[in-house]
Amino acid sequence: MRPGEAFALDRDDVGLDAGDVTITSSKNGACRQLPLHATTVAALVGYARRRDQLCPHPAGPSFLVSVRGTRLHPRVADEVFAGLARSAGLRARSPRTRPVLKSFRHTFAVNTLIGWYQAGADVDARMPVLSSWLGHAGPRSTYWYISADPALLGLAAGRMASARRQHPAGWPAEP
């Protein structure tokens, strides 16, 4: 999910028993439900338990709260994350490629696509699922991730070359 979607989550949006999250404040205005991995549920249960110990009377219904019991502010969360990234030794590869909270979303999308390619899955058929998880209007927006990552682009190109070799009559001639 987008960081802003996480900050907007209320306690009722996080179904720890069901293992899902309902995003009601998305970029496109659509509501979507995301399944959670068991390890994510366990981490969120631990967070909620600790949050409730440290902040038994929060200022609102937010799932993620600040030390004051209020909804997380994106700027503050970004600053804290930047400090944690520096402490962990993460460095920017370029001014445009630095560790930011949104990087987790990008990594999830790229790793999902890499896994599908490596498993021999029909990526085109599965792309609407990934688009839905990411809250994109459609696969066209999600295909951007293929061109944004060299390893993923290589896998996609390899898949296309293999298809071309197996079915040469269905492909245009090379320039």
pLDDT tens figures, 150-164: 777 777 777 767 666
Average pLDDT over every residue of 113-124? 88
Confidence bin at 105 (pLDDT 50/70/90): confident
Q: How many structural domains is the chain composed of?
A: 2
pTM of the model: 0.77
**65 shares its domain with 107:** no
Judge whether 175 lies within some domain.
no
| Distance separating alpha carbons of residues 42 and 30, to the nearest angstrom | 27
Judge whether 148 lies within some domain.
yes
Q: In the listed set 60, 87, 114, which residue is the last one of a domain according to the structure?
A: 87
Range of the structural domain that residue 78 is part of: 3-87
Tokens for 158, please give them.
């390899």
